[in-house]
Amino acid sequence: MQPRLRGDQAPAWQALRAHAASPVDLKSAFAADPGRFEAFSQQAPQVFADLSKNRIDGAVQSLLFQLARQCGVEQHRDAMFAGEAINSTEGRAVKHWLLRSPRGASADPDAQLVHATLDAMLDYAERIRADAAITDVVNIGIGGSDLGPQMAVTALQEFVLPGKRFHFVSNVDGHELAAVLRQVRAQSTLFLLASKTFTTIETMTNARSARAWFDAQGGKEVARHFAAITTNVAEAKAFGIGATFGFWDWVGGRYSMWSAIGLPIAIAIGADGFRQLLAGAHEIDQHFAGAPLEQNLPVRLGLLDVWNRNFLGMGSRSIAPYHSALRRLPAYLQQLEMESNGKRVDLQGRPLAAASSPVLWGEPGTNGQHAYFQMLHQGTDVVPVEFIAVSRASHRLERHQELLLANALAQAQALMQGRADPGGHRDFPGNRPSSFLLLDELTPASLGALVALNEHRVFVSGSVWGINSFDQWGVELGKVLATDIAQRLESGDVSGLDASTAGLLRRVRASG
C-alpha cells in the first residue's frame, strides 16, 4: 500500500479543531432541528444506532467524512478485504473477515482451508453435544482465547444446550482453576486448551495443572477429555491430545472467536447457531465493505470516536449494556479497542501527535446506575456513554423488560437534558453525550453483527490515527521480565534489580 495521510496532517483536521472551539449544545440542537434524530441515526444489519445525542452537527459530520477520505480509510479497508499485508510490523494479512465468509463467496486462497477447518471443528462440537457423559466443558486460554468465547457463551445462554456447563479459566492465579476443579469430575469433563503455539505460559501452566488433577482423580482416556486449539500439533500430541484444530497467523487473538477458538461457543450453541453467529458478522462485513461512508455505520462510529477523543478531549468511553447476558461485553471490547489502538507511534514508527485509544470500561445497567452513573451525570469529567439495549426479552417475566428499557432511555435522556438547581447539589449540567445501539433480539446473528461492528469501528479510528491496529507489542515486555523474576523468586537472586523490585521480591520470599 501507498503511505496514507495521518489524521492530524489532513486538512480536515484543522477545520474540525475550529468547530470544536464552538461546542454543540444538545438541547438547543434538538430544539432547532426536528429531523436531528433521523439525520444522526441509522439501521445497519441487525443493529440500529442513534448517534443524535452526541456533540456533533451536520458540518462536523461532513468534515469527519472528509477526514476519512483524506486519510485513505476506504483504500485501507479495501486492502484488508483484498488480503494485503496491512499488519506491517509483522508482515501479515488481516483476514478475520474470511472466517465468516460463506462457502464459495470468496476467492481468497485460504478460503477452502478455512471451511475445511470450520467443518471439522463443528463436527467435533456436535459429537461432544451428543455425548451425554460430558457434562462440563472447561476452556483454558487467555486474552482473545478466553474473552471472546466467554463473552459469547454468556451472551447466548438462552441458546446453550441444557445438561452441559461451561467454565472459563484464564488467570495464572491458581485460585481460578482450583475453583473450577472443585465443581467438576474427571470422568465427565472436557478440557479445551487454546494456545496458538502451545507455549503461552498462563495457558500451559493451567493446562498442566488440569492434566495433573485429571490423572490424580483417576481420569482415563486423555485424548477423550482434552482437545487443543493450536498450530503446534506435535506438542499437543505429546500432551496426550488427539483432537486438534488450528488457525492462522492472519487471525489476531482478539479477532479469533470466529475461528476454532470459538469451539466452546460451537459446543454451547451448536453448529447451526455458530453458523448464524458467523452470518451476522458477515452481514456487517458486507455493509462495511460496500456502503458509502455516509451510510456506513462502522465508519460513522469510528469517526465519532476520533471526534470525541481528539477534538472534545474525552479520554474514556463507558459501555452500558442493558442486558445481563452482555455483562462480559465491556471486558471484551476493552481488549478489542485498547490492545488494537493503544499505540503511541504511527506506521512509520514516528510518535503520534494526537491521542489514540480511549479507556473503555463499564458494567451492565441498571447495576451501573447505582455504582458510577453519579460521576457520569455530575462529575467533573465528561464521559461518552454507549448504551446497548435489546427490544425483546427471551424471558416471560412481567414488567422487567419494560422497566429495563425505560431506565436505559431515561439515563440517555437525563445525560443529555440535565436539570437546573440553583443550590448546586442537585444540578445536572446535561449536554453529556451518548450513543444508543439497539438490537431487536439477542441471537447468535445479532451478537455476531454487534461484535463485527465494533471490530470495524476500531479499524476506522486506527486508520485515521495512522497506526497499526493489528499488532500488540506492548504485551511482550512484562511477559519477558516475568520469566526472569519467576527464576529469581526460586533462587532469591536480586542482583541487577531496581530497589523496589528487589525489596518486594525479598518480602514475598520471606512470607511465602
Question: Any idea which residues carry the catalytic annotation?
Answer: 339, 370, 479
Assign residue 4 a region (left: φ > 0; alpha: ψ between -120 and 50; beta: otherwise): beta
With H, G, I as helix, E, B as strand and everything else as coil, classify residue 198: coil
DSSP-derived letter for residue 494 is -
CB atoms within 10 A of CB 492: 10
CA distance 319 to 389: 11
Tell me if 16 sits within 8 A of 67, measured CB to CB: yes
Tell me if 311 sits within 8 A of 20, measured CB to CB: yes
CA distance 364 to 369: 9
* Burial class (CB within 10 angstroms; exposed 0-12, middle 13-18, buried 19+) of 380: exposed
Q: Is the peptide bond before 483 cis (omega within 30 degrees of 0)?
A: no
Residues 433-463, buried b or exposed e (16+ Cβ, 10 A)? bbbbbbbeebbbbbbbbbbbbbbbbbbbbbb
CA distance 237 to 229: 12
With H, G, I as helix, E, B as strand and everything else as coil, classify residue 455: helix
β-strands 243-245, 385-390 pairing: unpaired
CA distance 59 to 67: 12
Q: What residues contact residue 416 under an 8 Å CB cut-off, 6+ apart?
A: 26, 27, 53, 430, 431, 432, 433, 434
CA distance 430 to 417: 5
CA triple 227-159-133, angle to 5 deg: 45
Cell digits of residue 87: 499488519
Radius of gyration over every alpha carbon of the chain, rounded to an integer in angstroms: 24
Count Cα neighbours of 77 within 13 Å in the Cβ-side half-sphere.
Answer: 27
Cα-based distances in Å from 495 to 71, 269, 484: 49, 53, 12
Q: Please give the backbone phi and psi of residue 107, each rounded to the nearest 5 degrees, phi first.
A: -90, 5
Q: What residues contact residue 325 under an 8 Å CB cut-off, 6+ apart?
A: 154, 155, 156, 157, 158, 442
